[in-house]
């Protein structure tokens, strides 16, 4: 069975066709510009293709309340032109199939739980650290929703005593996203992250803040696996630094083998690599089909 999938990011859209077995058959990406231009490219890619349902994982904030008049909308985003855009409605104008809809990071968490690093587990946390910081969570086999949806990238973190950087978040300054996202790295150091690979101080500070957030999430959500993706986490030297900081911060409080002995397999990169979000969108489409 074939499912259409959209990973709608603030920087780029990724569209693809996947199967109910987790195979990605076709994949394309293009920059996120205006809704009119971007959705025209989406429609052109899927036109004439055969699929039973569609799943969309989108940048946010988004409205996931099915009883709301703005269900399926990208809502109060700072992304130019996309504020209050009816994303699901725009897709349904062209494709008469069941549509599953959630955040891009929730989709990635779902994909990793179904076919990736958290396969076989009913609980995981997926965090992307790139242009922004976002997190999605699977709890007891279900995606975590509530009043809105998780916005874990904007939690507050304790400042490093030697760090005077003001932060880069337009809303909160020195929240997690404001301190560790790609634009924050570039603003702080004057160069992009991939140009700073061998600058140890850069990654020690990143790990300091990321580990604080993981400690918070471990103590609140108790995920069975933590998956760190996004452009910043392509710097694989971050993983051992983060794991060591998490262990020191928890200080023996969580008496589980995953923490005391197995951090190398507990805090991990995406098993699906760059297809985590797209694969998760396939699962959203499959679930929409089942609900119908």
Token pair 């986490």 in the structure block, residue:
233
Collect all residues with Cβ–Cβ distance below 8 Å to 185 and sequence separation of at least 6: 192, 193, 196, 202, 206, 232
CA distance 166 to 164: 6
pLDDT digits (tens, 9 = 90+) for 166-211: 999 999 999 999 999 999 999 999 999 999 999 999 999 999 999 9
Q: Would 111 be classed as within a structural domain?
A: no
Residue 52 binned pLDDT confidence (cut-offs 50, 70, 90): very high
Range of the domain at 42: 2-104+274-291
The CATH number of residue 240's host domain is: 3.30.420.40
Same-domain check for residues 134 and 223: yes
Single pTM value for the model: 0.95
Same domain for 251 and 134: yes
At residue 146, does pLDDT exceed 90?
Answer: no
Same domain, yes or no: 280 and 256:
no
Judge whether residue 78 has pLDDT over 90: no
Q: Is the pLDDT of residue 233 over 90?
A: yes
**108 in Cβ contact with 275 (< 8 Å):** no
Number of domains in the chain: 2
| Co-location of 121 and 265 in the same domain | yes
CA distance 34 to 39: 8
281-292 pLDDT tens trace: 999 999 999 997
- Together in a domain, 244 and 160: yes
Both 132 and 234 in a single domain?
yes
- Residue 265 placed within a domain: yes
Distance CA 282, CA 36 (A): 24
**Which residues are registered as beta bridge partners of 128?**
134, 229
Do 161 and 285 reside in the same domain of the chain? no
My answer on whether 164 and 227 are in the same domain is yes
Alpha-carbon distance 100 to 88, whole Å?
9
Residue 112 lies in a domain: no
Whether residue 88 contacts residue 253, with contact meaning beta carbons closer than 8 Å, is answered with no
Same domain flag for 128 and 254: yes
Separation in Å, CA 129 to CA 28, 111, 154, 259:
22, 17, 12, 22
The answer as to whether 48 is a domain residue is yes
Query: Does 109 map to a domain?
Result: no
**Pair 8, 27 in one domain:** yes
Instruction: Determine if the peptide bond prior to 215 is cis (ω within 30°).
Output: no
Buried/exposed 263-273: b ≥16 CB within 10 Å, e otherwise: beebbbbbbbe
For residue 234, pLDDT beyond 90: yes
257, 125: one domain: yes
pLDDT at residue number 276? 97
142 and 241: one domain?
A: yes
């Amino acid at each position: 069975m074939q499912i259409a999938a959209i990973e709608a990011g603030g920087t780029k859209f990724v569209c693809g066709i996947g199967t109910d077995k987790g195979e990605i058959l076709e994949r394309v990406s293009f920059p996120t510009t205006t809704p009119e231009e971007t959705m025209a490219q989406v429609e052109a890619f899927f036109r004439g293709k055969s699929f039973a349902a569609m799943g969309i994982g989108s940048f946010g904030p988004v409205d996931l309340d099915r009883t709301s008049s703005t269900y399926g909308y990208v809502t109060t985003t700072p992304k130019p032109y996309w504020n209050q855009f009816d994303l699901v409605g725009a897709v349904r104008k062209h494709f008469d199939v069941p549509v599953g809809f959630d955040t891009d990071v929730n989709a990635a968490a779902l994909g990793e739980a179904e076919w990736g690093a958290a396969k076989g587990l009913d609980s995981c946390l997926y965090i992307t650290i790139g242009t922004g910081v976002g997190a999605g969570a699977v709890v007891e086999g279900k995606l975590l929703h509530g009043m809105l949806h998780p916005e874990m990238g904007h939690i507050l973190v304790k400042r490093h005593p030697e760090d005077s950087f003001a932060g880069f978040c337009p809303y909160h300054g020195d929240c997690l996203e404001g301190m560790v996202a790609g634009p924050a790295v570039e603003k702080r150091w004057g160069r992009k992250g991939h140009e700073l690979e061998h600058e140890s101080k850069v990654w020690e500070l990143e790990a300091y803040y990321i580990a604080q957030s993981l400690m918070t999430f471990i103590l609140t959500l108790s995920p069975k696996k933590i998956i760190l993706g996004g452009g910043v986490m392509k710097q694989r030297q971050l993983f051992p630094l983060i794991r060591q900081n998490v262990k020191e911060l928890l200080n023996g409080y969580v008496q589980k083998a995953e923490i005391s002995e197995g951090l190398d397999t507990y805090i991990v990169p995406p098993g699906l690599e760059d297809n985590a979000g797209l694969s998760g969108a396939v699962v959203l489409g499959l679930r929409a089909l089942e609900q119908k």
